[in-house]
Amino acid sequence: MTERAAEDPAARRRRKRPTMRDVAREAGVALRTVSRVVNDDPTVGPHLVTRVRAAITALDYAPDERAQQLRRGVSGTIGAAVRNLADAHPVLSAVDQAARQARLTVLAMSTEDEEEREREAVMSMCRRRVDGIIIEPISTNHQYLAAELESGMPLVAVDRPTGGVAADAVLSDNAAGIGMAFRHLVLHGHHRIAYIGDDERIFTGRERAAAFRACVAANGGTIDGLVHPGFVSPDRVAAALDAVLRGNPPATALITGNVATTIEVLRRLGAEAGRLAIVGFDDFPLADILRPGVTVIAQDSAVIGRTAIELLLARTADPDRPVRNVTVPVELIPRGSGELRPPP
């Protein structure tokens, strides 16, 4: 790690940040007039507007948003509690864009998949008096938010619902997705289809595993040795994959319940990836350039993000409206891995 000191006028003078009062003095007008100009109030004479603008430029004045917020009562900011800042749920992009269109700033904080961090992040947002919160829940018990919800804080859960308190949520249609995957594989000639996915303590893990069991049952099969929910770790996925491949008879197709599992399975399979038909839940970048391409059930991030903001704004407008859960359809994207036929 190399350091290099660059040129720097050592005698750089620090200027204190100018306030609105300074601008008023500079322009020779009242504070209120500056405020009017800053807020584009049309009732200011053009002459003064010019003078104030000049003063603002001369002093490099920028209003203090904290003071504005404090006084105005709204923050113009919504909080987003996401799992990881560098690799957030793709809906966050959509949330961000939709928020911008609603002239709202997004304050993103990471939860690192830890309940306590989630709580810290969300409470910090509340203390900042954000105008609403989008949360990708980690915790299963959000009682700690009861007071906030009661005092009208709009909160929208994404991907998973909140627990213990009623809040708006926008979820993907997990059951339909698993159904699509299952039928797709059956259609391609598979009879022994297995499932490896998240721990059933996690909402999506629970929903997807349950949907899978229902599919097997509806198809008149038995689920013995075919369903492998659990914590996603290389070892566990490896063991589950092993059980699936060495079953009697072995499964010829696999549904993976989340991206981490899909990737771990592919990593494990390596060169033998073509040996097993695979449909993964949730799309991921590069799924199309793997060989074979990975067939996935894709969530509609754009719609989810937009819907989340809509629910947020609706609740802001009417804090007493009934709580809503919106389910967004998913889509099967065939890319090769899900279209593999079983060996004869």
Partner DNA sequence: ATGAAAGCGCTAACAT
Partner DNA sequence: ATGTTAGCGCTTTCAT
Applying the rule CB under 8 A, the residues between 253 and 292 that interact with a copy of itself are 263, 266-267, 270-271, 284-286, 288-291
Is 249 a binding residue for a copy of itself by CB under 8 A? The answer is: no
Cβ atoms 260, 197 nearer than 8 A: no
Cβ atoms 250, 193 nearer than 8 A: no
Determine the size of the site formed for a copy of itself (CB under 8 A). 81
Provide long-range contacts, Cβ within 8 A and 24+ apart, for 280-283.
280/255, 280/256, 280/337, 281/174, 281/177, 281/178, 281/181, 281/197, 281/208, 281/255, 281/256, 281/257, 282/258, 283/333
Name, in order, each residue with C-beta under 8 angstroms of 193's C-beta and a sequence gap of 6 or more. 182, 185, 186, 216, 226, 251, 252, 253, 254, 255
- Distance set, CA 123 to CA 81, 126, 127 (Å): 10, 5, 6
Number of residues that make up the chain: 344
Per CB under 7 A, contacts with DNA among 35-74 are 35-36, 38-39, 43-45, 47-48, 61, 63-64, 67-68, 70-73
Minimum CB separation of residue 324 from a copy of itself in Å reads: 6
Give 73 or 344: the residue with its C-beta nearer to DNA: 73
Is 218 a binding residue for a copy of itself by CB under 8 A? The answer is: no
Is 88 a binding residue for a copy of itself by CB under 8 A? The answer is: yes
Per CB under 7 A, contacts with DNA among 68-127 are 68, 70-73
Tell me which residue of 97, 83, 11, 34 sits closest to 260, measured CA to CA. Answer: 83
Is 31 a binding residue for a copy of itself by CB under 8 A? The answer is: no
Is 19 a binding residue for DNA by CB under 7 A? The answer is: yes
Residue 151-180 contact track with DNA, rule CB under 7 A, x = bound: ------------------------------
Per CB under 8 A, contacts with a copy of itself among 104-123 are 105-110, 123
Q: Which two tokens stand for residue 189?
A: 């000639």
Residues that bind DNA in the complex, under the rule CB under 7 A: 17, 19-21, 29-33, 35-36, 38-39, 43-45, 47-48, 61, 63-64, 67-68, 70-73
